Amino acid sequence: MTREAGQKKPPLFERGQLLKASQLNALAAAVSSVIGRGAQLFAPPNLQAILDEDLYAAEDTFNDPSTAQATILIRNRFGNLQATSRKETVVNRFENISVDKDTYVKLEWIDGEWQLYAADCAPRSESLSQAPSAASESIGTGTGSI
């Protein structure tokens, strides 16, 4: 198995062909390099869902995120969204964002967990991890919902 200059794909092995030690070492180094970079060869596509329960703000982004179950949605043959029987755990690492039950959300696969990246929340949503301060009430920022 040799690689021609400018060839994009190496040739396929023949049935019964054996790897030389140098080829096996090169293969091991290539796989190790990909794994070492944390590359995801087949990242799952983003999902759409409806939260089955309130998703509270994280107590601590690094050590204590909150979680909630969500029902995954898919587009049917008419182009409309419909609920499936698939459930996923949503992880919320935001310390200042919480989302109410029954909210339409979008999920992204990050480092082995489904994380929230968008939500269709009602203005001034009330699912808070703690009561908002007077400052956050008047400006609309601080602990609250997406």
Q: How far apart are CA 113 and CA 80, in angstroms?
A: 26
Taking the whole predicted model, whether its pTM rises above 0.75 is answered as: no
Give percent of the chain above pLDDT 70: 73
In a domain, 4, yes or no: no
More confident residue, 20 or 140: 20
Q: For the domain that residue 99 is a member of, what is the CATH number?
A: 2.40.50
In a domain, 110, yes or no: yes
Q: Which domain holds residue 53?
A: 47-121
In a domain, 105, yes or no: yes
38: confidence class by pLDDT, cuts 50, 70, 90:
low
pLDDT for res 15: 87
In a domain, 54, yes or no: yes
In a domain, 21, yes or no: no
Looking at every residue in the chain, the average pLDDT score rounds to 81
Q: Domain total for the chain?
A: 1
| pLDDT over 60 (residue 2) | no
pLDDT for res 20: 87
pLDDT for res 62: 97
Averaged over 44-70, what is the pLDDT? 97
Q: Which range among 5-9, 25-29, 132-136 shows the weakest confidence by mean pLDDT?
A: 132-136
